[in-house]
Structure 1
Amino acid sequence: MKAAVLNRFGSPLAIEQVEDPVLGTGEVIVDIAAASVLSYANEVFSGERKYLLEPPVIPGTGGIGRVGALSPDATHLAIGDWVYCDPTVRSRDDAVAPDITLQGLSARGPGGLKLQQHFRHGSFAERMRIPTENAKPIGGIAPGDAARWCALGTLLVPYGGFLAAHLQPGETVLVSGATGRFGSAAVAVALAMGAAAVVTPGRNEAMLAELQRRFGPRVHPVKLTGDASEDPVRMTRAAPCPIDCVLDIMPPSVTTDVVRSAIMAVRPYGRVALMGGVGMLGGPGLDLPYPWIMRNCVTIHGVWMYPPSATVKMVGLIRSGLLDLAQFEPTCFALDHANEAVAHAAKHSQPFKMTVITP
């Protein structure tokens, strides 16, 4: 089959003919129709992000495709079913604290690397082997809609944060990083889950206005000043009710001061979900005040990705009309042009824009 291969960090992707994936017990082979390209894929492939990924490897996190082959232990999937290839692969021999690898992107610790050695190749290929439980049915779709369904890979990340923070209908949410790709998706997800109001702090006034235009009066934008004492007050005042839940999904380039300001806008007994990349490139820690956390009974969740059941629930939100995939605008590239796709993704990282490879 044809695939885009990262042979070493810092080199362009090589379009090569490689061996087809071999089916094993507890696995599914999917014929890939569309695979999204992360806006920071170029930083991963260059080695700048220092992700745990061992070349040579076929990169690509998740994708949309049709089941091409099944192992005998699959009892519900059928050949030809449309599925989302969930890249969050978990070890099966520790139900309490499983190791995790993000297939085709990164791993967590030595156990994740061991898992990656088997489920290493991602979706920048004509076919992909994944664990049976990672083939998530999405129902029937038109082949031309596969690219837009790649938005699942963006929507599921903040959804995992809100599930961990037990977001309830009618609550008030603050999304720290709302003007970014994942943060803007978080706004859409929070509203689909029934949030009464979503506070969207940021410095990009044009994007803040765009979020309000897209989603209406439940969105409450806040222009940040950079003043660590003033910004929490501005965020609190912008909220029509006390802020029940804060989701931070800021990128690694942001300082901890910005994150801290958003967290400390949460009400007493509120919840915080940390999903961003702050601190990944070094620098000071978050340094939250212990007495404030303790006396206000604030719950802080660290969340990486989302639970296995999240995709099924997310598909339900989409099928019900609560989440509209038409918000997302894909630009598609053939597999032969994978390097152009990576460059395009880096230059066009605006919210609701997607770069997609269509093998």
Structure 2
Amino acid sequence: MRALVFEEFGGPLTVQQVPDPAPAPDGVVVEVGASGVCRSDWHAWSGHDPDVVLPHVPGHELAGTVAAVGDRVRGWSVGDRVTVPFVCACGTCPPCRDGDGQVCLRQTQPGFTHWGSFAQYVALDAADVNLVALPEDMSFPVAAALGCRFATAFRAVTGVGRAAPGEWVAVVGCGGVGLSAVQVAVGVGARVVAVDPSPGARELAVAMGAEHVLASTGGVVELTGGGAHVALDCLGSPATCEASIRSLRPRGRHVQVGLLPPAQGRAAVPMELVVARELAVLGSHGMAAQDYPAMLSMITAGRLRPQDLVTRELPLTEAGPALVDVGRISGVTVLTSF
């Protein structure tokens, strides 16, 4: 198959012919119909993820068609149209038994623990636990955008941050996950202040329903009459983490969504404010497959429109430059031809 490969961290990204994957006994191989280009893929290429072994094929936001099925798979057949969370859960460890597959103790992640979806085919583990059937009218490019950024934002806003109608939500960083968070927060009736230094990102945030947009968090407290009820760092940097926490009102909830690799420096969490204001500092790591129906029902009903986030569709041959430039172009970039 054709795949985008890197053989050194931060090194050249080239399309190569590599062996086709085979399904594990409990897994499947999916023919990739679309794959999102995400900042997490950039982290993998940059050497920020200890699970990545060289040479490597990135890509973890995907949708496509089941092409091969392991002999222990019961719920899926060749030809099924599917997507998958970026965390593939084992289904049997204590967190999985509690319904928290997104923090599975034996998780695998395409594009990190094994070769990913910047390729014609990708292997996925524990198919009966992790695959999600696509609505018939949902295209592969839209479905691919769900697997990391949109699903992550959905759970961060609704499940972890518990944003309620009328509450103020500050979204810090309006890349793909941040714009998704804006749309989801608006979809549940919250009022949104979106923060990003990029004029293009702020323009898209307005299109997603943000009530206010700012270049920095400096005006959030004033605009919201004392601070946000929920603030999400959707970029993942020491500066944005601290700024998000400082934008909260007393008893507010900070949700860390963007990755904070130690190689980029540790965040200086203002614990004096956490104590004095009784703030909650929370982490959010994707969304398990079993939680997808609530999100898909809102999409089917038209309350959420992930298709509005997809601003570029590219072939695999342009995946390398797109990965290097991730974050510099507003919206979600999706690979659609392999």
1:304/1:122 CA distance change after superposition, 3 Å: same
Contact 2:161/2:254 (<8 A) preserved: yes
Q: Distance in 2 between matches of 1:67 and 1:29?
A: 6
Q: CA deviation at 1:101?
A: 3.9
2:98 maps to none
Alignment of 1:11-160 (within 5 A): 11-39=11-39, 41=41, 44-47=44-47, 49=48, 51-96=50-95, 98-105=105-112, 116=113, 120-131=114-125, 132=127, 133-141=129-137, 145-152=139-146, 153-160=148-155
1:249 maps to 234
SS in 1 for 2:249: coil
SS in 2 for 1:122: coil
Contact 2:172/2:195 (<8 A) preserved: yes
1:78/1:41 CA distance change after superposition, 3 Å: closer
1:280 is aligned with what amino acid? P
Residue 265 (structure 1) aligned to one of 237, 247, 252: 247
1:129/1:44 CA distance change after superposition, 3 Å: closer
1:113 maps to none
Q: CA deviation at 1:320?
A: 1.3
1:238 maps to 223
1:297/1:122 CA distance change after superposition, 3 Å: same
Contact 1:137/1:312 (<8 A) preserved: no
Q: Which runs of 5 or more structure 2 residues have no equivalent in the other structure?
A: 96-103
Contact 2:241/2:267 (<8 A) preserved: no
2:335 maps to 356
Residues 159-204 of structure 1: per-residue CA shift (max 9 Å, x gap): 2322222223343211122x33321221112112x13301123333
How many residue pairs match? The answer is 325
Alignment of 1:280-359 (within 5 A): 280-290=262-272, 292-335=273-316, 337=317, 340-347=318-325, 349=327, 350-359=329-338
2:136 is aligned with what amino acid? G
1:141/1:121 CA distance change after superposition, 3 Å: farther
Residues 79-109 of structure 1: per-residue CA shift (max 9 Å, x gap): 322111322123445223614443213xxxx
Contact 2:169/2:228 (<8 A) preserved: yes
1:249 is aligned with what amino acid? C
Q: Which moved more, 1:38-47 or 1:95-104?
A: 38-47
Q: Which runs of 5 or more structure 1 residues have no equivalent in the other structure?
A: 106-115, 226-230
1:191 is aligned with what amino acid? V
Q: CA deviation at 1:54?
A: 0.3
Identity value in percent: 22
Q: CA deviation at 1:286?
A: 1.8
Residues 210-257 of structure 1: per-residue CA shift (max 9 Å, x gap): 422x144x52223437xxxxx2xx2122126862211112243xx43x
1:181 aligns with 2:159: no
2:337 is aligned with what amino acid? T
Q: TM-score, normalised by structure 2?
A: 0.83
1:69 is aligned with what amino acid? A
1:245/1:344 CA distance change after superposition, 3 Å: same
Contact 2:145/2:332 (<8 A) preserved: no
SS in 1 for 2:250: coil
2:211 maps to 219
Q: Distance in 2 between matches of 1:174 and 1:37?
A: 24
Q: Distance in 2 between matches of 1:42 and 1:272?
A: 25
Q: TM-score, normalised by structure 1?
A: 0.78
Contact 2:257/2:283 (<8 A) preserved: yes
The Cα RMSD (Å) is 2.9
Larger radius of gyration: 1
1:103 is aligned with what amino acid? P
Residues 294-332 of structure 1: per-residue CA shift (max 9 Å, x gap): 343322112222233343332222111111133133533
SS in 2 for 1:304: coil
Contact 2:252/2:278 (<8 A) preserved: yes
Q: Distance in 2 between matches of 1:240 and 1:319?
A: 35
SS in 1 for 2:153: helix
SS in 2 for 1:267: strand
1:108 maps to none
2:101 maps to none
SS in 1 for 2:222: helix
Q: Distance in 1 between matches of 2:225 and 2:291?
A: 29
1:110 maps to none
